[in-house]
Structure 1
């Protein structure tokens, strides 16, 4: 059973677990369980995806319950009339706040993007961040005698593929657990020291005007058990999180 965060006659939002694909993909042919199918079976009606979360990312995932609402929500996302917030654990001490304005070249997959143009110019990409907490652990990781980490709130202003993971890598604060754009030594340390085998990135909040009623809607996802446990292991308080 997936945790339902919000549901009305037009929309349903779930708290997607890390490791669950949104829908069937050529990239993971061996997978047999997908958020779309699980949610459809759970509520007994078809659901229509209106945005996506990467497989290793947890948090707020929104579906429409009919094609017309799906189209309207697609227009809202395309017009950037949503506000998304994520929480992430990253390597090092970030600045207290900042803005990452760094264009990203489109990432293409050999299997699913065979017909896509490979020489597109980098696309505009902007992410704002705020540091919420820091910790320094007495363990040597890599060339440093101690290991430093920050808990950050991320607010993407654009929606490029793997934007947050690539932007945090760009400012030398990769997200812990990122096996594609992250730091292998840090990931190995978290696996061995904390038994943490996931990407520490979660979609914590999604806000927008309801496509049918026009009313402001804010959907929040509580931290899943694994992420919450990791936050506690690092000595941070979930209750005091702004």
Structure 2
């Protein structure tokens, strides 16, 4: 396990490029013994405070406060929806060019439904000569996703709701298409990446724009799908 890639650090915040498949912190439902929060603390030699979350299988920009006040201030911006978030996802099928999904979600069983809104824009498509189910070919879209709210598994659930599940999603996805990507491309991960986060720095007042860089597995996959680097900009 190599060091976490730090993409930004100042006196108040540190942001990393979270690897896919890593839990941020300890949870009762997992027997994992290694966590991003613990590793980052050991790596930089100081305590870090979670500000927001990324699902275990999701990679990309993840920000921590370096003290409790810094974390509280940034959490407040998230709660006021003053933080811009941009994701990239590979979904099943040819999705329409753009849309806004306004579909309430239930974060936990027994809890009330909560407003959940996600906008998206199609960046590229590909049709592969592989039979999946009753179709002779397999179609996929690369999508830029901007969640306006922050519900648990929101993007994954919303893509499933519109019948364009994210490739590699073993909970809300399509097993046949997940298997195709394992067999043909050797890709076992969820193809959802938190690519950008932007907010006004609570202390300096300047606009902070943080970006992750696709790893070699993603860039190689996109090359094989015919999606050039312009799709990642």
Q: TM-score, normalized by length of structure 1?
A: 0.93
**Structure 2 residues not aligned, in runs of 5+:** none
**Counterpart in the other structure of 1:26:** 28
**Structure 1 residues not aligned, in runs of 5+:** 109-117
1:94 aligns with 2:95: yes
- How far apart, in 2, do the equivalents of 1:25 and 1:172 lie? 30
1:227 aligns with 2:218: yes
**Counterpart in the other structure of 1:150:** 141
Q: How many residues align?
A: 231
Answer yes or no: is the 8 Å Cα contact 1:3–1:15 preserved in 2: yes
**Counterpart in the other structure of 1:54:** 55
Assess, with a 3 A threshold, how the Cα gap between structure 1 residues 161 and 93 changes in structure 2: closer, same or farther: same
Give 1:62-77 correspondences, 5 Å limit. 62-77=63-78
**Counterpart in the other structure of 1:131:** 122
- How far apart, in 1, do the equivalents of 2:108 and 2:130 lie? 35
Query: Deviation of residue 106 (structure 1)?
Result: 2.1
SS in 1 for 2:205: coil
Query: Which string of whole-angstrom CA distances, capped at 9 and with x for unpartnered residues, describes residues 52-105 of structure 1?
Result: 100000000000000110111111111111000000000000111111111112
**Counterpart in the other structure of 2:41:** 40
Give 1:3-14 correspondences, 5 Å limit. 3-14=5-16
**Counterpart in the other structure of 1:207:** 198
4+ runs deviating over 2 angstroms: 239-242
Q: TM-score, normalized by length of structure 2?
A: 0.97
**Counterpart in the other structure of 2:152:** 161
Query: Deviation of residue 220 (structure 1)?
Result: 0.4
Answer yes or no: is the 8 Å Cα contact 2:123–2:231 preserved in 1: no
- How far apart, in 2, do the equivalents of 1:20 and 1:144 lie? 34
Query: Deviation of residue 121 (structure 1)?
Result: 2.7
- How far apart, in 1, do the equivalents of 2:26 and 2:62 lie? 16
Residues 73-82 or 160-169, more deviating: 73-82
**Counterpart in the other structure of 2:209:** 218
Assess, with a 3 A threshold, how the Cα gap between structure 1 residues 45 and 77 changes in structure 2: closer, same or farther: same
Query: Deviation of residue 107 (structure 1)?
Result: 2.9
Query: Deviation of residue 240 (structure 1)?
Result: 5.0
